[in-house]
A = this chain, B = another copy of it.
């Protein structure tokens, strides 16, 4: 199986002290909850393994490029936190998050027009945990979540693990299409399906690379109000516009009906796992309770590190540096795509964030092609992982966030060679050998 090849993940081996006759036999199979059936291996795990092979140019992962971080300063600061405040830093704290950090988070959100009270901020173990807990609070099995198509793979994983059904809504180069949203909500109402929230990434979308036009924002919110649907706004990339531009957060336009997810993973350090949720008071109180069940509290040291960094470092200049780094990489990718990709390929032109979304000509299946691309020493994320309805077989996500511009150009060059050869085979043989799958729709 392709995933196993990519992860180098070997099947279960006999463990010391016990004999396993059939490594695929699971004696606990009858015991799992119904939701567990929906937990299937995401591509995230595969991508990390691929990215770690030095000979492969990975355009697959979403790892931020941290090289510009001031490690020496951070090292000194963290040492001070432990030496001077270690008994606090290494001790449990509240599930809600440290008050000074929650105040600073309000300052960060103000850059995108949000006026918030620190009481309404809940610190989470990355915004992934925020998303997971929001889904826990709102979704019964069978409830519908409306999301862009394509959508963030980690969100789809959370929705699946609470047995929520995803209805995808189309995007164009200006983001989510209001009429398509209205039609989806109308259809759900007609068929008696309960939509719990719209999950949306308005800025520099993962994986689509597009941004929701400002003039669409009020309309999207109005549609959700009309259909009595909550909005969950996921905004990890909002401060990574390549010209320093920002857009008004959906939360700033309708604070009582928007739950906002924020993250320091892309603007500071992903490995600290510090994110947050901004939610109306009643929801926020339930989120704190859910956090207590999930982890008791987010790590205290990590919160102090982020708080100290925000207090003492010119973090806005640091974000400008990140913007420049990512813009340079975006430019390298777009020019390489222009130069190398075969005719018939199209792609989005992101103004910020990490990703380009590529559509390949008919006759190429991006999931089937992936093992051959890896053999040619380039990796990407095939489009099917970003949908729950089987779409995406002619799409792929290319990340320009992590490799150097030179490596990005080389990766695209390799990818183009694989695409050329796939197209040649498709033209010559069609799908007669099962190697090239024609799209089913």
Chain A residues within 8 Å of B, Cβ to Cβ:
12-13, 15-18, 20, 23, 25-29, 31-36, 39-42, 44-45, 48, 63-64, 66-67, 69, 71-72, 74-76, 78-80, 82-83, 86-95, 115-117, 119-120, 125-126, 128-129, 132, 136-140, 143, 154, 157-158, 160-162, 196-197, 230, 255-257, 265, 269-273, 280-283, 286, 288-290, 292-302, 305
> Would B140 and A34 count as touching, CB distance under 8 A?
yes
> Would B33 and A138 count as touching, CB distance under 8 A?
yes
Q: How far is the CA of A230 from the CA of B15 in the complex (A)?
A: 19
> Would B42 and A63 count as touching, CB distance under 8 A?
no
Chain B residues positioned under 8 Å from A283 (CB to CB): 26, 28
Q: Which residue of B lies closest to A12 (CB)?
A: B281
Chain B residues positioned under 8 Å from A293 (CB to CB): 39, 128, 132, 154, 157-158, 160-161
Q: Which residue of B lies closest to A92 (CB)?
A: B270
Q: How far is the CA of A71 from the CA of B79 in the complex (A)?
A: 9
Q: Which residue of B lies closest to A39 (CB)?
A: B289
In the complex where A87-B67, A289-B40, A289-B42 touch, is A282 in contact with B31 (Cβ < 8 A)?
A: no
> Would A296 and B126 count as touching, CB distance under 8 A?
yes
Chain B residues positioned under 8 Å from A302 (CB to CB): 299, 301-302
Oligomeric state, in number of copies?
2
Q: How far is the CA of A35 from the CA of B294 in the complex (A)?
A: 14
Interface of A is mostly: helix
Q: How far is the CA of A26 from the CA of B78 in the complex (A)?
A: 40
From B28, B87, B271, A66 is in contact (CB under 8 Å) with B87
A-B contact pairs, 11 of them (CB 8 A): A12-B281, A16-B117, A39-B286, A41-B289, A42-B289, A63-B91, A76-B79, A90-B271, A132-B295, A273-B295, A299-B299
Q: How far is the CA of A33 from the CA of B160 in the complex (A)?
A: 15
Closest 9 CB pairs of A and B: A26-B282, A271-B300, A90-B269, A79-B79, A71-B86, A75-B83, A75-B82, A12-B281, A273-B299
Q: How far is the CA of A420 from the CA of B41 in the complex (A)?
A: 60
Chain B residues positioned under 8 Å from A88 (CB to CB): 271
Q: Which residue of B lies closest to A139 (CB)?
A: B33
Chain B residues positioned under 8 Å from A128 (CB to CB): 293-296
- A290 to B: closest C-beta gap in Å: 6
> Would B39 and A115 count as touching, CB distance under 8 A?
no
From B23, B92, B115, A63 is in contact (CB under 8 Å) with B92
> Would A294 and B294 count as touching, CB distance under 8 A?
yes
Q: How far is the CA of A205 from the CA of B128 in the complex (A)?
A: 33
The CB with the most chain B CB atoms within 10 A, among A36, A40, A197, A271, is that of: A271
Q: How far is the CA of A273 from the CA of B17 in the complex (A)?
A: 30
Chain B residues positioned under 8 Å from A290 (CB to CB): 39, 161
> Would B90 and A86 count as touching, CB distance under 8 A?
no
> Would A154 and B292 count as touching, CB distance under 8 A?
yes
Q: How far is the CA of A384 from the CA of B281 in the complex (A)?
A: 28
Q: Which residue of B lies closest to A79 (CB)?
A: B79
- A30 to B: closest C-beta gap in Å: 8
Q: How far is the CA of A154 from the CA of B256 in the complex (A)?
A: 31
- A66 to B: closest C-beta gap in Å: 5
Q: How far is the CA of A86 from the CA of B69 in the complex (A)?
A: 9
> Would A90 and B297 count as touching, CB distance under 8 A?
no
